[in-house]
Amino acid sequence: MRRLVLGCGTVGNDIVESLTDRSGDLHVITDDSGRVSALRDEHVAALEADPRDPDNYPDHADLVVVAGASATANLTAADRARDRFPHAMLVAYAGDDATEADLRALRELADRVIDPIGVAADRVLEVATGETADRLRELVRTLRSVDGKLAVVAHDNPDPDAIASAVALVRIAQFAGTDAEACYYGDISHQENRALVNLLNINMRQLDPEVDPREEFAGFALVDHSRPGVNDSLPTDVEPVVVVDHHPPREPIDARFVDLRDDVGATSTLMVEYLDRFGLTPGAEVATALLYGIRIDTKDFTREVSEADFDAAASLLSHADTEVLDRVESPSLTPGVLDVLARAIEAREQRGSVVASCVGKIADRDALAQAAERLLDMEGVDTTLVYGYRDGVVYASGRARGADLDLGETLRDALDQMGSAGGHADMAGAQLSLGILADVGDDSAESLTEIVRDTVAGRFFETLEDAPKAPRRSTDRAVAFPDED
């Protein structure tokens, strides 16, 4: 048998070593001069040349192994080798940087494809046992089932936990051999969130709600929320393949892989567990984002915090960029934010421990979230709702701390019929069209503000009389997998 090896990266060198002990001819073509010299010293016939150029190929080969380090170069070499030796057995190494598209293209050419990412994942799964192994296998199997690009979607106007979870799941999808992209709808407008994304150079794509994402993406994963069209702008009939959240929903979730656990304070904590189990070391970007996500969602380990949150944060410290965190947590407050905060304090309406405040026309919608957070610091207040309007839309942001109600479901019951509302038990928002009220001119701004206040506050306080209760935190992990057909 005559064997031909095209390219000779680290894996290719291991393959050559295994073939030298077998009977038959062995011929290696690589553009690595150092590798050629080493092979010749071992009495292997090696040619320093471009492994993609058929003019360098011998006249005959029974087995062709494409084994360079580059996925693009390997794909080109495999294509030309298949054309030159149509009857030969063709084995192709995917390459160190192979995408799912590269793997699909190679599988159409080669008799066998060696996927390094898949092999590594399989080895990790072989070591894991019990419930953990089942969860990891299900996640990898689900990610690999996506025939195309996966959109990892954070909730609208994502907070640090959603941002970090999205980029972490993209990393895990890449490990499983699936092309993935972190996505969101709305804006990243909060100063600290913008600083996080900009300082860490986090790559997240803003989706257009007017364009059906299914035209580009073959699958969807939801992080830090659990239902398409609820707290995100996905079409409601999208069927997600993966859902990971730390707040259980009121309704069952239909997805191939579902991990909903209310015994942790952040979705980022679950992502840290996945990375650790797969033996993946997070880079500074991912580690810093995850650490910040845990800190923000647990309010610096003072709200709904668990032992797992502390462990996850501790494991991230050695990888995170603490200097970046310092800069993220000290952004400058714009005059617009300070103005909205002042108006929220002045216009507040308090009933018991709940405060609602209409701030009128706004320039920066994210100022509402910051004002809602600040109002929580008032004595005797555990729930806040701050809302205002611009460009024909009313925006509302709510926060709760130590309250019995589920704020996300409360806002959904109160305002969802007028637009879109929802979120978590302690952090929620809404967007409502002004409709015919938007026809009121600027000279009637005071009157418009009164109408908005009466409508939103009226529905909100009325719903509070029979508000949905916050979900009780479990003492045991709640991991749900849908039944297989």
Domain spans in the chain, listed from the N-terminal domain onward: 2-114, 130-328, 335-464
> What is the predicted pLDDT for the residue at 334?
72
Q: How far apart are CA 302 and CA 419, in angstroms?
A: 33
What is the reported pTM?
Answer: 0.61
> What is the predicted pLDDT for the residue at 121?
58
Positions of the chain with pLDDT under 70: 116-133, 250, 330-333, 436-445, 470-485
Q: How far apart are CA 264 and CA 247, in angstroms?
A: 9
Q: How far apart are CA 294 and CA 308, in angstroms?
A: 10
* 351 bridge partner residues: 354
What amino acid is encoded at 388 in this protein? G
Q: How far apart are CA 411 and CA 198, in angstroms?
A: 31
> What is the predicted pLDDT for the residue at 427?
80
Q: How far apart are CA 40 and CA 46, in angstroms?
A: 6
> What is the predicted pLDDT for the residue at 477?
38
> What is the predicted pLDDT for the residue at 28?
94
Contacts of 32 (CB under 8 A, 6+ apart): 8, 48
Structure tokens at 181: 């992209």
| Helix runs in 257-346, H state only | 267-277, 284-297, 307-317, 322-328, 335-346
Q: Which architecture, in CATH terms, is 130-328?
A: Alpha-Beta Complex (3.90)
Answer yes or no: same fold for 2-114 and 335-464: no
Q: What is the CATH number of domain 2-114?
A: 3.40.50.720
pLDDT more than 90, % of the chain: 45
> What is the predicted pLDDT for the residue at 355?
95
The conformation of residue 209, written as its DSSP 8-state character, comes to T
Q: Do 247 and 221 contact (CB within 8 A), yes or no?
A: no
Pick among 3.10.310.30, 2.60.40.1080, 3.40.50.300, 3.90.550.10: CATH of 335-464: 3.10.310.30
Q: How far apart are CA 388 and CA 243, in angstroms?
A: 32
> What is the predicted pLDDT for the residue at 221?
97
* 242 bridge partner residues: 221, 257
Structure tokens at 414: 């109160």
Q: Is 65 helix (H, G, I), strand (E, B) or coil?
A: strand
Sheet strands side by side (includes 219-223): 205-206, 180-184, 150-153, 219-223, 242-245, 257-260
Torsions phi, psi of 273, nearest 5? Answer: -60, -45
* 257 bridge partner residues: 242
